[in-house]
Chains A and B, each alone.
Chain A
Amino acid sequence: MEKTSSLSISRPYYSPKELSYLHSKTIADSKKVIYNQRKHQVYQYLFQIIKVLKLPLKVLNTSMIYYQKFYLFNIFEEEFEDFSNIEKSMELDPFNVSLASLFLACKNEDCIKKLRDILLVANKIKDNQIEENFIELQRKIILGLEFKLLQILQFNFNNQISFSTDSLVLQFCKKINLNYKYSLFCWLVNFDLMLTPIGLTLPPHCIALAIIIISLNFKPNDLKTRELSSGVNENILDSLNPKDFKCPEKLVNEGILYILDFYIHQYNLSILNNYLPQINEDLNKEQIFKFMNLKSKFNNLRTLNEHSIDGNLLKQDESLSLFDYSISSKGTSRFINKRKRLLEEID
């Protein structure tokens, strides 16, 4: 029987196992490489739009979270078999999904731009011919995608982005008196992380603290900057306590290991690569070895325990299935943003 109602509880974060499970359903193995390529392109594309429109960086961060969240519940397929159906092809185009993500992120971050203005800039960057009919069709497609995104987010605008990681990184650097080079290193790492799914797994303050701990261990004294930096107090690292930053230790540890893995595998493609000399002055080897050294140092960190999550349980979890938009268009979809609320009702 066709379902006429549904209940969605907002899930702010997903464990690494849940993320891989969701991706296994939405991104075919044959498309994993292309998904990652597109994600890099989308990130560059949105960054250019944001620069032209003079939007703050947190909008890019939020847009990337929305974009990646979209593909947790929607199948990544770029081309629709029926070429005559232009609307459907446009709806599947990841660049249009990214524009819908940017449009909603602008609203949520209170940096409102008219969709038309975003599209004019976006099409110019892509060298698309800007015809009135095309813009109107694109606008219609993106507004449809926005409503899909809103449902995937369960109309919850607060969970992942109440405080953006970039502003928290800077605030934490200030709080512990980190010098310019170390702070810039942190900021660059955060910039690199925006294109990763780390924001779907960990809250911003835990990511920010993990970045700071990596910076203090990495000691980026050879970072290329014009500014001179004072020395860093060696005792800062020992005195850092995750509890002072309201961070659960295991989540910070997850962050540390994730970031190190990211640079071990993708250092050459990273923005940080442009700011560090090729050879690490401490090791006299390539920078990547420094990240590998740190990984072995941190290998015993206690991280999230996912032993209880197995494939069968994930299959039974309805909140991890593909999103059924037909229910809200024909029937009723109810959205709850707090689990506590649901438990109250069951009681």
Chain B
Amino acid sequence: MTQRKYTKEKKVGEGTYAVVYLGKTEKSRQIAIKEIKTGLFKDGLDMSAIREVKYLQELRHENVIELIDVFSNDGNLNLVLEFLPADLEVLIKDQSIIFKPGDIKSWLLMTLRGIHHCHRNFIIHRDLKPNNLLISPDGYLKIADFGLARSLGNANEDLSSNVVTRWYRSPELLFGAKHYDTAVDIWSIGIIFAELMLRTPYLPGQDDINQLDVTFRALGTPTEANWPNVTALPLYNAINVYAPPSRQELRNRFSAATEKALDLLIAMTVLDPSKRCNSTQALMDDFFTESPPPTRPENLPSKNTNKKQKTE
């Protein structure tokens, strides 16, 4: 009972705080083992590892990576995770794979279901990007890498705005807001939705300053009129003012998108976080009930040759 047997078969990656191995359970289920380095050169157990254990232990959902086991061996901490061989970034980049509208709808739906489960448990992911949306062998999309996640704190607590990979960072984070909520994840999903349609990153800023410019060039510069009190945010200064895009401009940019797809994209990328849709509203959107239906996971395109498991 105590000795649940896992085998480590090969090392597939090494990050700053962990080494990842592929392996199998006794029942031949494929798994990934993340061996956390706990050396003295660091400040004890890494914060990312704590967050990953803390939140994955609480979440059990078909669209969130499963933490199967936690064990300590030879003084190291090991996390046993389900094996997920691909990620959405790999599929987006592979131009030989054709995305049908139902495929995009299916991936978006699974991402929203996973994040809805996190949000209803008061957890913000804070690092959603195609690279962190892993794909199981049977086509299910699962949200992974909870190394930056945190629970919704007290209203008077300051949060760090230095979260989320730049291209997927919401305007409130770009402006250095210290109080934000689950809306930062919805923004990221909106940008991923755009990327799935464009097959190229939607807002690829070169640095933090350029990210502001790229974001507002595409979606308009926020003002007091459309986002009350935005000018009070720490980094709101000396920004170029761009008009919000017209519906026609968006239609031109996303030429294959239906009107309902555009409506949902606009709702998820509203500049003012308090007016942005939440995960429930997004899941209930008409886009998911209009034709075509979301592709069943097992019928989604895959890249069989790619074997990948995320490391930090």
Contacts and interface: CB of A to CB of B under 8 A. Distances in A.
Contact of B58 (A114, A151, A158, A328): A158
Contacts of B38: 147
Secondary structure type dominating chain B contacts: loop
A330 B75 CA distance: 8
Contacts of A139: 40
Contact of A115 (B2, B4, B44, B57): B44
Interface centre among A162, A334, A337, A346 (most CB of B within 10 A): A334
B95 interface: no
B304 interface: no
A332 B57 contact: no
Contact of A158 (B44, B57, B153, B157): B57
A151 B54 contact: no
A334 B150 contact: no
B1 A345 contact: yes
A346 B3 contact: no
A332 B45 contact: no
B70 A334 contact: yes
Give chain B's interface residue range (CB within 8 Å of chain A): 20 to 34
Interface string B62-76: 000000011111110
A173 to B, nearest CB: 14
B57 A346 contact: no
B4 A147 contact: no
B239 to A, nearest CB: 30
Contacts of B2: 5-7, 332, 334
A238 interface: no
B69 A107 contact: no
Contacts of A140: 40
A345 B27 CA distance: 13
B45 A146 contact: yes
A333 B71 contact: yes
10 contacts: A56-B154, A104-B44, A107-B47, A155-B77, A158-B58, A330-B74, A332-B3, A332-B73, A333-B72, A334-B70
Given A157-B53, A333-B72, 17 more contacts: A56-B157, A107-B50, A110-B153, A143-B40, A143-B43, A143-B44, A147-B45, A150-B45, A155-B70, A162-B151, A328-B75, A332-B72, A333-B71, A334-B2, A334-B3, A335-B70, A335-B71
Interface of A: 5-7, 56, 103-104, 107-108, 110, 112, 114-115, 139-140, 143, 146-147, 150-151, 155-158, 162, 167, 328-337, 345-346
